[in-house]
Amino acid sequence: MSGKYLVATDQNFKAEVLESDKVALVDFWAAWCGPCMMLGPVIEELAGDYEGKAVIAKVNVDENPNTAAQYGIRSIPTMLVFKNGQVVDQMVGAMPKNMIAKKIDEHIG
């Protein structure tokens, strides 16, 4: 089941991710990044799996340089897990769905 992930931007990041009462997984990506493209379908599946339980978001680093810079994103894909407005976990590189889900679950429970 694939769901609709949040398209996070410099404008909505604070309201949708930092001020959310749910755990948020944010995938920092770019259209020219091969591993990011491979990760795309996984992020969509996670959005479906965690609908109502967590925020699953993607930030295009080319279109939203301020948010990427704010979190020191140097290589993509980078996924950050936020809880109560703070970064609580980080994953760099394309990872299997089960590993990403495990990280999210650690912070939901």
Active site residue 18: no
Q: Is 77 helix (H, G, I), strand (E, B) or coil?
A: coil
Phi, psi for 95 (deg, rounded to 5): -130, 155
Active site residue 61: no
CB environment 36-71: b (16+ within 10 A), e (fewer): beebbebbbbbbebbeeebbbbbbbbeebeebbeeb
Q: Which of 30, 33, 88, 95 is catalytic?
A: 33
Q: Which of 17, 26, 36, 80 is catalytic?
A: 36
Q: What residues are annotated to the active site?
A: 33, 36
